[in-house]
Structure 1
């Protein structure tokens, strides 16, 4: 199971936010559903910084449905006014039924034509509260199961690949994962591009960076050189360069910002 605490750089800045496990019938299709709800006073905004998981998301909002591709960099969204979203962090097995070319959505998104899904989720969220969130996830799961159908053997292989790359800290190279999965590196690369839109190496780098950010945030006294070695970086400089390239700042500056997350 992917660690649900990872990915959000400043949790204290988040609006009301819920992660909800999928029902059993959708467990091969969705890692979890996520629902933010916000009510920002007029004239103000709330900026949410994330290091996205290397996965696609299908997101329903009051004004439509969007398919969001895997991201190669950190991103943010400025929330204003009052609103909500119901998103599904998709497992690879869902992807082939939603797009023919997930790599074309890398660092991008597109409107997704799903009027029944939009109607049912909007109706469910209109009730408000915990019951509304549960109903919204239930109808979302039902729609996905009907749309995707039973996963193929290749789709299940892609799920196994993604789970290994995103949860096992001992996997630091493509070859490590391929050996564990008993497939060739080339086969694994084809699975990743077809079902995620990113290379296995990029997925491993994303997991390591998410883990590094989480450790720095939750354990501010962590020695960065030791952390770099534990996560498979060659040294402290390698960790710092990865932080700067993806997040735009160093682990040291992130540690300072995390101690006072409402600044900046």
Structure 2
């Protein structure tokens, strides 16, 4: 979703802007989905707030497949609040009926401040026992007197206030500040190997490895590989002329065989099959638009 006028831009935990859908494997399947940048003074803690809403007819479902960058999220949805740990694989969720969620994609500096053990929480969810936060966000999303933007802004503001009270701006040179700088460096497509981070950040690789474990929950090489594969999936969606060999070379792989192996291990299919699936879905959508079954 494009960034809305008047809302502050932000970057995700890989240093990207909130309108970047690189980790969404099938963007056409998304329900109504909104991203809101953090308020001034909170971009050290939150990359953006994300709010999906859906109302599907009986018997219909929407299958969401995401290849997210390893990061933690704070999520409020009807009846519960949770901390969602860093994913190590692609994630999938099937939406049915109606619902909503209000999430905050956390910057790495938030992880130690909120007492999150990122390694222990890999691919896992931890309940967040805060009834006041749950009530505030639920009340905002359920306020029928407000239009959609006002409801979502109010819900994001409630979540932002909760985070602001718990995650101070990190001092320059602190581990938390370096963790955010590391996320921004990894977002640079020019970074294809761990060894390239040390001169960029003027910090030893060993120190960066420790920060990665503590604030991201995954090793440095895994983060770089995830960013490269997110980029690969986006290029396969957007550039029909991009060959597998060319993509492998541009993303820093020694050859297309290594690229295909990594892509298949994470997405469950080789890049050629992913591209074909995208084309099949586009054709199916076009067929429905022209009255064909």
Q: Does the 8 Å CA contact 2:189/2:251 hold for their aligned counterparts?
A: yes
Return the match for 1:250 from 262, 266, 270: 270
Give the structure-2-normalised TM-score.
Answer: 0.86
**Length, aligned pairs only:** 262
Asked if 1:233 corresponds to 2:245, the answer is no
Return the match for 2:179 from 148, 152, 158: 158
Q: Does the 8 Å CA contact 2:70/2:86 hold for their aligned counterparts?
A: yes
SS in 2 for 1:176: helix
Pairwise mapping of residues 92-111 of structure 1 onto structure 2 (< 5 A)? 92-111=108-127
1:98 is displaced (CA, Å) by 2.2
SS in 2 for 1:26: coil
Q: Does the 8 Å CA contact 2:44/2:169 hold for their aligned counterparts?
A: no
Higher helix share: 1
Return the match for 1:41 from 57, 60, 75: 57
1:176 is displaced (CA, Å) by 0.5
Give a deviation string over 1:93-138, Cα, whole Å, max 9, x none. 1111223421001111111122222111111111250111111111
Where structure 1 has 5 or more consecutive residues not aligned to the other structure, the ranges are none
Higher RCO (CA 8 Å, separation ≥ 6 residues) = 1
The answer for the alignment partner of 1:201 in structure 2 is 221
- What is the rounded CA distance, in whole Å, between the counterparts of 1:118 and 1:163 in structure 2? 31
Q: Does the 8 Å CA contact 1:66/1:109 hold for their aligned counterparts?
A: yes
The answer for the alignment partner of 1:5 in structure 2 is 21
Return the match for 2:128 from 112, 115, 124: 112
Give a deviation string over 1:33-62, Cα, whole Å, max 9, x none. 111100111122111000011111111101
Greater mean deviation of Cα atoms: 112-121 or 41-50 = 112-121
- What is the rounded CA distance, in whole Å, between the counterparts of 1:220 and 1:98 in structure 2? 43
Q: Does the 8 Å CA contact 1:92/1:155 hold for their aligned counterparts?
A: yes
Give the ranges of 4+ consecutive aligned residues of structure 1 lying more than 4 Å apart after TM superposition. none
- What is the rounded CA distance, in whole Å, between the counterparts of 1:184 and 1:102 in structure 2? 21
Give a deviation string over 1:231-255, Cα, whole Å, max 9, x none. 1111111111111101100111111
- What is the rounded CA distance, in whole Å, between the counterparts of 1:25 and 1:53 in structure 2? 23
| Cα-Cα RMSD | 1.3
Pairwise mapping of residues 210-229 of structure 1 onto structure 2 (< 5 A)? 210-229=230-249
The answer for the alignment partner of 2:162 in structure 1 is 143
Where structure 2 has 5 or more consecutive residues not aligned to the other structure, the ranges are 1-10, 285-293
Q: Does the 8 Å CA contact 1:36/1:86 hold for their aligned counterparts?
A: yes
Asked if 1:82 corresponds to 2:114, the answer is no
Give the structure-1-normalised TM-score.
Answer: 0.95
Greater CA radius of gyration, 1 or 2? 2
The answer for the alignment partner of 1:183 in structure 2 is 203
Asked if 1:131 corresponds to 2:150, the answer is yes
- What is the rounded CA distance, in whole Å, between the counterparts of 2:36 and 2:178 in structure 1? 24
Q: Does the 8 Å CA contact 2:90/2:267 hold for their aligned counterparts?
A: yes
- What is the rounded CA distance, in whole Å, between the counterparts of 1:50 and 1:22 in structure 2? 22
